[in-house]
Amino acid sequence: MAGLKEIRSRITSVNSTRQITSAMKMVSAAKLRRAQEAVERMHPYAEKLRELLENVSASLDDTEGVYSQQREVKKVLLVAITSNRGLSGAFNNNIIKTVKTMINDDYMDADVSVLTVGKKAHDAFKRTPNYTDEGQKLEPNEIFDDLSFDNVKAIAEPIMEQFADQKYDRVVLVYNHFINAAMQQVQKEQFLPIKPPKEDSSQDKKSASSDYIFEPNKEDIVRELIPKSLKIQFYKAILDSWASEHGARMTAMHKATDNAGDLLKDLKLTYNKARQTSITNEILEIVSGAEALNG
Q: Is residue 151 in some structural domain?
A: yes
pLDDT, position 48:
80
Confidence tier at 261 by pLDDT (50, 70, 90): very high
Q: Which residues contact 120 (CB under 8 A, 6 or more apart)?
A: 82, 83, 84, 85, 86, 92, 96
Average pLDDT value for the chain: 85
| Angstrom distance (rounded) from CA 90 to CA 246 | 13
Average pLDDT value for residue range 114-126: 92
Reduce the DSSP state of residue 133 to 3 states and report it.
coil
Q: Which residue has the higher pLDDT, 13 or 294?
A: 13
Q: Enter the DSSP assignment of 91.
A: H
Does residue 157 fall inside a structural domain?
yes
Residue by residue, DSSP assigns 213-272 as: --SS-HHHIIIIIHHHHHHHHHHHHHHHHHHHHHHHHHHHHHHHHHHHHHHHHHHHHHHH
Q: Is residue 164 part of a domain?
A: yes
111-117/183-192 β-pairing: unpaired
* The predicted structure's pLDDT at residue 105: 93
Q: Which of 97-106, 128-137, 200-209, 262-271 has the lowest mean pLDDT?
A: 200-209
In a domain, 279, yes or no: no
Residue 294: is its pLDDT beyond 60?
yes
The per-residue pLDDT for 188 is 94
Position 40 confidence tier, pLDDT thresholds 50, 70, 90: confident
What Cα–Cα distance (Å) separates residue 246 from each residue in 72, 103, 135, 180?
38, 28, 29, 10
Question: Looking at the domain assignment, is residue 272 inside a domain?
Answer: no
- What pLDDT, in 10s, does the model give residues 61-105? 656 678 888 889 999 999 999 999 888 889 999 999 999 999 999
Q: Is residue 83 part of a domain?
A: yes
The pLDDT value given to residue 87: 87
Number of domains in the chain: 1
pLDDT, tens digit (0-9, with 9 covering 90-100), for 179-220: 888 889 999 999 998 887 765 544 444 444 456 676 777 677
For residues 276 and 72, the answer to whether their CB atoms sit within 8 Å is no
**Interval 45-63: pLDDT, tens:** 888 877 777 777 766 665 6
> Which structural domain range is residue 117 located in?
28-243
How far is CA 74 from each of CA 77, 110, 171, 173, rounded to the nearest angstrom?
A: 10, 5, 11, 17
pLDDT score, position 135:
67
Residue range 24-48: mean pLDDT, rounded: 86
Q: State the pLDDT at residue 201.
A: 44
Domain of residue 191, CATH code: 3.40.1380.10
Which is higher by pLDDT, 172 or 276? 172
The helix-helix angle for 91-101 and 226-294 (nearest 10°) equals 130
Q: Helix crossing, 149-164 with 226-294: angle to 10°? A: 120
> Looking at the domain assignment, is residue 274 inside a domain?
no
pLDDT value for 205: 45
Q: Is residue 275 part of a domain?
A: no
* pLDDT of amino acid 162: 92
Residue 84's identity, in one-letter code, is: N
Greatest mean pLDDT range, 2-6, 216-220, 231-235:
231-235
